[in-house]
Amino acid sequence: MCAYAKTAPGETLTYRPPDLQRYAGEQFCLRITPEDLDLDRCFFVYLDERFEGYSLRKLFQTYFFAPGPEQEAEMASWLEPWLHMDPMLPKKRMLLRQMFAKVREHSGKVLFYINHGPGPLNPDDTVRSHLGTSVFDDGSFDDKILDVVIEFYADDEPLPELDQWARFDPIDTSPAGAGAGAWAGAGAAGPAADFNRRSIFGTLGMLMIAMLSLPFLLFSCRGGRGGNPRRGFGGGGFGGGML
């Protein structure tokens, strides 16, 4: 039985589905909620597929426990496209860093769980070994996800950061609240997208192929030859940078 089973309206979470390979080449969403906080107050960021080979320890050590200037700049660039949806993302990350620091200061411990999955996890497990999928009923979001719930133990030291986080406004993931293209970010979809990024890139692929085909179609028409125009519907993967 999983320790945490948080849900978002219209979302289906599947831990380690058998068809995960169909997301090859795409980014994954790292979604973090501390302890019992709701998903609509989550921290999220999209990470490149190369991080799937990292251990949980290495990923959090590099970008949350002790990031250097390069990692800080990377994270800022990944978060920037999403600040119009949740301007508190940098603040949430700062609170995570503060809680990690407090745990270390008091020789406490941090436990990692997968929402709708196992836990506590071995921090030396790879990201890839705990990926799942998050699919919304309306087709707006269909992605790999590392859906992490974190428990902080700092030797009975109070964590006011949790109370502060709980007071943040929920992220409005409805199409009306998000606004048209709100999750478009830098060409990426997100946890409350009002369109599916596979559809977007398919449409772009179709337009590009149509444009490349245009001179040949015109030549064909001038030469009096009939035939159907070629159609190019691009495939699914998304490999851009985000979070």
136-183 pLDDT tens trace: 898 778 899 999 999 999 988 889 999 999 999 998 655 544 443 334
The reported pTM is 0.74
DSSP β-ladder status, 28-34 and 132-136: unpaired
**Average pLDDT for residues 206-231, to the nearest whole number?**
40
**Average pLDDT for residues 123-147, to the nearest whole number?**
93
- Higher-confidence position of 160 and 214: 160
All residues at 6 or more sequence positions from 240 whose CB lies less than 8 Å from its CB, including other chains: 27, 186, 187, 188
pLDDT at 173: 58
Nearest by Cα to 9 from 44, 52, 38, 32 = 38
* Lowest-pLDDT choice from 65-74, 176-185, 201-210: 176-185
Q: Where are the alpha helices (DSSP H) in the chain?
A: 56-60, 69-79, 89-105, 160-166, 175-178, 197-222
| Separation CA 140–CA 195 (nearest Å) | 5
DSSP β-ladder status, 43-47 and 11-15: unpaired
By three-state DSSP, how is residue 138 classified? coil
| Separation CA 188–CA 242 (nearest Å) | 7
What mean pLDDT, rounded, does the chain reach?
78
Nearest by Cα to 159 from 214, 90, 106 = 106
